[in-house]
Structure 1
Amino acid sequence: MSSVSSTAAGNVSSTLAPDGCLEIVIGNPAEANLLTFAMTSTFLAAISDLPEGTKFVLIRGNGADFCAGRTSPMPDPSTKPTARTIRERVADPVLDFYEALRSVPVPVIAAVSGRAFGVGCALAGLADIVIADETAKFVVPELERDIPPLLVMTGLADRIGRAALARLVLSREAFSATAAEKLGLVSETCAADELDARIAFYRQKLSANSAVTLSAVKAFLNLSPEMSFAARRAYAADSIATAVSARFGQSA
């Protein structure tokens, strides 16, 4: 499939295809696609300023793994960093990244093979559709280093239930694709040789819709958990009227 536009920097590439898919590839396979600060910045830029014509986003890793986490941002202990320094260097950048990913205005698909550890686990879980093949392993390992995994938990808190989140972070176990699906972290599982076909299935389905319609669905998915029924009702009525009228070239 030929691309409309493509950019690459910091081992993260983004390509907008004619079907409206913005494909973001994490390209650090020699290190299991660990995200460096530069890679995270490139990724953040790609999802914060979507190219015109983007209908949906696909995230995948290059090689055997999805993303095995990020390179350590911790300052040298000998510098005796303050709490503010640690927040600015360690917490805020990844939380900004999670917020931007959660706020992408169109559906996001994550295709997961191999390791999805720490940041990689949150990155997958923040997608709207998570397709994991039989090689996928989901782990939140921070407690092994006596670090509270509150950043990952912030990303996943409204994606999976409380009991599932507690088990994921407190057990530190490696969850298979099937086990992660039971937790609610994964949408569907498949054999390794079926992953591309499942991605193609969603691409075909979503490319048939307008960006306006897909954006309305995404906005509802993000907002509805925080709304009362009355607020959902009002939002749904207004949003569907706007989306459908746009098909006829009419203003609200």
Structure 2
Amino acid sequence: MQSNVLYEKTGRVAFLTLNRPEKLNALDYATNDRLLSLLDQIEADDEIGAVILTGAGERAFSAGGDIHEFTQSIRRGTDEAVRDFCRRGQRMTARFEAFPKPVIAAVNGIAFGGGCEITESVHLAIASEEAVFAKPEINIGIPPTFGGTQRLPRLAGRKRALELLLTGDTFGPQRAHELGLVNDVVPGEDLLPAAFDLAERILRHSSLAAARIITAVTRGINTTIEEGLLIEREQFARMCATADVQEGLDAWIARRTPNYLGQ
């Protein structure tokens, strides 16, 4: 039986592919659970320093939650729907958001609903010129359930986010770039090379420092500036006694490239 999420190690990059192309890579419960399991495995692997996530096939990154499966949960009652669909999806996107290794979405096509919410939650994203985004949950009478009502306003601003959330309208990759949802837009054939290039530009630096930066930004973005600065100091203090700091300083003084452990 073919896996619904493919996993390949390419150097120090974990390359994940949502693998339900016949369903436009819809996020059924098994796919969400598989992603969480793989992220646990990747976090424990010291050889991996970054993650790239894309979708199988030529049409979709992910069309969002598996509506047929979700419908069955709704019919069995609110408690089950909240537990199996909403909490599961929120757990998955929260894991991406707080993951200590940089996660890059390579958005190769449709990114609707949960697919858009994954894009919102990961640290970095590159879209192909063929990508198309939407927050279509209102079309079936629900709000977004994987964090979309919270993350999109923080990325795009309240009024721009509400327009997308309340209309369900599709929008293209350039608009996604303007809204801060993706970092860059490239031709389709350049998407994965661009994602791997971005990963390599990150991987030349200390993986410990990258983790501390991600933690400081993720924890601090929703706090006051005073609380955020305290978090920043805490993350700096955690780095001070590490070999990576000493190596980085020594390399800078000697005008050489740092040689971090495990790289």
TM-score, with length taken from structure 2: 0.82
Alignment partners' CA distance in 2, 1:200 and 1:83: 42
Alignment partners' CA distance in 1, 2:143 and 2:192: 36
Indicate how the Cα distance of structure 1 residues 233 and 9 shifts in structure 2: closer, same or farther if over 3 A, else same.
Answer: farther
Counterpart of 1:190 in structure 2: which amino acid?
Answer: V
Aligned 8 A contact 1:16 1:51 in 2: no
| Residue 10 of structure 2 is aligned to residue 17 of structure 1 | yes
5+ residue gaps, structure 2, are 247-263
Alignment partners' CA distance in 2, 1:180 and 1:221: 21
Aligned 8 A contact 1:48 1:100 in 2: no
1:45 corresponds to: 37
1:4 corresponds to: none
Indicate how the Cα distance of structure 1 residues 234 and 145 shifts in structure 2: closer, same or farther if over 3 A, else same.
Answer: closer
Alignment partners' CA distance in 2, 1:247 and 1:209: 13
Matches within 5 A, 1:1-252: 10-18=3-11, 20-49=12-41, 50-53=43-46, 54-64=48-58, 65-72=60-67, 73-76=69-72, 81-151=76-146, 152-247=148-243
What is the CA distance between 1:67 and its match in structure 2? 0.7
Counterpart of 1:46 in structure 2: which amino acid?
Answer: L
Indicate how the Cα distance of structure 1 residues 237 and 28 shifts in structure 2: closer, same or farther if over 3 A, else same.
Answer: same
What is the CA distance between 1:122 and its match in structure 2? 0.4
Alignment partners' CA distance in 1, 2:220 and 2:15: 27
Query: Bigger shift: 118-127 or 20-29?
Result: 20-29
Count the aligned residue pairs: 241
Query: Bigger shift: 221-230 or 154-163?
Result: 154-163
Q: CA RMSD in A?
A: 2.4
Counterpart of 1:227 in structure 2: which amino acid?
Answer: T
What is the CA distance between 1:102 and its match in structure 2? 1.6
Q: Percent identity?
A: 21
What is the CA distance between 1:137 and its match in structure 2? 0.2
Alignment partners' CA distance in 1, 2:240 and 2:9: 25
Aligned 8 A contact 2:29 2:85 in 1: no
Indicate how the Cα distance of structure 1 residues 194 and 169 shifts in structure 2: closer, same or farther if over 3 A, else same.
Answer: same
Counterpart of 2:54 in structure 1: which amino acid?
Answer: R
Q: Deviations over 1:114-173 (max 9, x none)?
A: 100111010111111110111000011111122222443245343332122212211211
Partner of 2:217, secondary structure, is helix
Structure showing the higher helix proportion among its residues: 2
Counterpart of 1:13 in structure 2: which amino acid?
Answer: L
Q: Deviations over 1:188-239 (max 9, x none)?
A: 1112222233113212211212220110111122022133333333332342
Alignment partners' CA distance in 2, 1:136 and 1:60: 12
Counterpart of 1:51 in structure 2: which amino acid?
Answer: A
Aligned 8 A contact 2:18 2:54 in 1: yes
Counterpart of 1:88 in structure 2: which amino acid?
Answer: R
1:3 corresponds to: none
Aligned 8 A contact 2:64 2:114 in 1: yes
TM-score, with length taken from structure 1: 0.85
Counterpart of 2:120 in structure 1: which amino acid?
Answer: G
Alignment partners' CA distance in 2, 1:229 and 1:89: 36
Indicate how the Cα distance of structure 1 residues 249 and 147 shifts in structure 2: closer, same or farther if over 3 A, else same.
Answer: closer
Alignment partners' CA distance in 2, 1:98 and 1:126: 6
What is the CA distance between 1:112 and its match in structure 2? 0.5
